Chain A
Amino acid sequence: MTDTAWIDLALTSSRPQAMGALLRYFRNLDLAEEAFQEACIRALKTWPTNGPPRDPAAWLIFVGRNSGIDKVRRQAREAPLPPEEQLSDLGDREEELADRLDGSHYRDDILRLLFVCSNPVLPATQQIALALRIVSGLSVKQIARAFLVSEAAMEQRITRAKGRVAAAGIPFETPDAADRAERLATVATMIYLVFNEGYSAMNGPDGVSADLCDEAIRLSRLLLRLFPAEPEIMGLTALLLLQHSRARARFDADGSIVLLEDQDRRLWNRRMIAEALAMIDKAMRHRRPGAYQIQAAIAALHARAERPELTDWEEIDLLYQALERLQPSPVITLNRAVAVSKREGAEAALAMVEPLAESLSGYFYFHGLHGALLNQLGRAREARIAFDRAIALATNAAEAAYIRKQLDHLADEAGHCISS
């Protein structure tokens, strides 16, 4: 690790707590962010020579709060900043401040910060960008690359998001149990969006899209450390870990999509899978099923199967039925149709899929699965039409390439279902 890499890591891991506390103190996102940046600059100056403080987050909160106060005073009275040397004498005060940080305050600080970024008044893309910027500390450049937009456009998106959040108001009262539950659900949705953004944009196991998945997992683990008894947060974390555990197997050397059943399972990250399975075990003990837990349980059944033919499709079908009852959705029915095709054949699955044509006409996977089922039934001409529509709707090059490969193999008797 480089000389300053440990400082970067300490700043990154302290960021949510420090930003949350500064936001509560200044009640202004821009002021909190500027205060945190100032504290980071001072950390980069003093920690290499003084050594790291015992509690980096508390140190950053103290220094950031003081620099923010100084800024307010300067704007009011043009008062000078205190001499830099005085900051080196922070040991005793830093210890005192650290002792006064209590668990519930810091938990709600971080939840509030995440909740502000998850505000439903923001479109999904702005929620994701704001969370990556404010909570994760990614640079505008990094976020712009992840979204494939220019830095100027991303800067504008983040600025607009901050403006809307400021207009909507930030709740500073300590939340009650109902408020906290609502915030958790909102934040979980945002984290899922961050993950999906990375997952669907991926065209290989590395790169900025994989970083988004890593970041979503980090945010979800953060939330779980704050609220360790929440089964839906366990389910969310497990789901993200299971999906990401397959990153190295999802693409071949050419960057083409490899379907779940064709993936080299030796490439799956077994440690992530083990962690996810442990969380699902814990979540199930609470007997409070939710959508994330059920989706995680479905992904776990795939992860547990050493070979595709060992997959428990009956259990997967039952879980999708449970998910349909919780959250009726044509997309869930579409996914369930894959399990039905494994258990009962393409005819039964096709009967489930065709009624979805109207509501899923703009959905890539619908046409991909429709084409695959028609192909299995020997209806090649209809399959070709479905595959052509899937290609037109593909959201990335890997998806389009996969469907083209299917078209190339239309003569094959054995088709594949869409499940990557």
Chain B
Amino acid sequence: MLYAVLCYNDESVTSAWSKEEDDRVMRDLTAVQSKYVETGKLGPVARLLPTTAATTLRHATGETIVIDGPFAETKEQLLGFYLIDCESLDEALAFARDLSTANPSAGSYEIRPLALYEPGGLPS
């Protein structure tokens, strides 16, 4: 079953990382990813720009409104996601646990099964 692992953290904390800290976290996360790449289970991985670069189009009762920034001010922001093909929820949780070990600052990993996955046509 395909799972999305959605990574949330306090953006004001992660954006305060020095370049060395940021590089170290990325390197450790990449090491976790490579284990799953080797098994052929890891799909697309995305890291998002900060929510200050976000724009939200909100559709409500027949009207669309464009809002600068994310939909809601939240204590943790969505910073990125992984798609992974797992036999069970436990396996997806193990992957998320590996990620959390590589990324020592507090944060959340939301694990949600996919209802639909279309790879699309983007060149890789």
A contact set with B: CB distance below 8 Å:
1, 5-6, 9-10, 12-13, 52, 55, 103, 214, 218, 221-222, 224-225, 228-229, 234, 237, 271, 274-275, 278-279, 282, 285
Contacts and interface: CB of A to CB of B under 8 A. Distances in A.
Contact of B52 (A1, A52, A279): A279
Nearest to A16: B12
Which of A9, A12, A52, A279 is most buried by chain B, counting CB atoms within 10 A of its CB? A9
Interface string B22-65: 00100000000000000000000000011111010000000000
Contacts of B12: 13, 222, 225
25 contacts: A1-B21, A1-B104, A1-B105, A9-B17, A9-B105, A10-B13, A12-B16, A13-B12, A13-B16, A52-B106, A103-B73, A218-B15, A218-B16, A221-B50, A224-B52, A225-B11, A225-B12, A225-B51, A225-B52, A228-B67, A228-B68, A228-B69, A237-B52, A275-B49, A278-B49
A369 B28 CA distance: 47
Nearest to A278: B53
Interface in B65-83: 66-69, 73, 75
Contacts of A224: 52
A229 B68 contact: yes
Given A218-B15, A225-B51, A13 B69 contact: no
Interface of B: 10-13, 15-18, 21, 24, 49-53, 55, 66-69, 73, 75, 104-106
Task: Give the dominant DSSP class at A's interface.
Answer: helix
A218 B15 CA distance: 8
Nearest to B103: A1
Nearest to B10: A13
Given A228-B68, A234-B68, 4 more contacts: A103-B73, A218-B15, A229-B68, A279-B53
A9 B16 contact: yes
Q: Which of B13, B16, B68, B69 has the largest count of A CB atoms less than 10 A from its CB?
A: B68
A229 B15 contact: no
A13 B106 CA distance: 13
A225 B70 CA distance: 10
B110 to A, nearest CB: 17
A268 to B, nearest CB: 14
The 4 lowest CB-CB distance pairs between A and B, nearest first, are A228-B69, A278-B53, A13-B12, A228-B68
B102 to A, nearest CB: 11
Nearest to B75: A55
A134 B53 CA distance: 27
Nearest to B69: A228
A228 B52 contact: yes
Nearest to A238: B53
A13 B13 contact: yes
A344 to B, nearest CB: 37
Contacts of B10: 13
A112 to B, nearest CB: 18
A285 B13 CA distance: 29
Contact of B15 (A6, A52, A221): A221
B73 A282 contact: no
Nearest to B51: A225
Q: Which of B21, B67, B105 has the most CB of A within 10 A?
A: B105
B105 A6 contact: yes
A278 B52 CA distance: 9
A149 to B, nearest CB: 24
B103 to A, nearest CB: 9
A244 to B, nearest CB: 11
A13 B16 CA distance: 7
Contacts of B49: 271, 274-275, 278
Contacts of B11: 225
A278 B11 CA distance: 17
A275 B16 contact: no
A229 B73 CA distance: 13
A295 B18 CA distance: 27
A275 B53 contact: yes
A6 B15 CA distance: 13
B69 A229 contact: yes
A285 B66 contact: yes
Contacts of B69: 225, 228-229
Q: Considering residues A229, A274, A282, which has the most beta carbons from chain B within 10 angstroms of its beta carbon?
A: A282
Contacts of A274: 49
Contacts of B18: 214
Contacts of B50: 221, 275
Contacts of B67: 228-229
A217 to B, nearest CB: 9
A234 B21 CA distance: 26
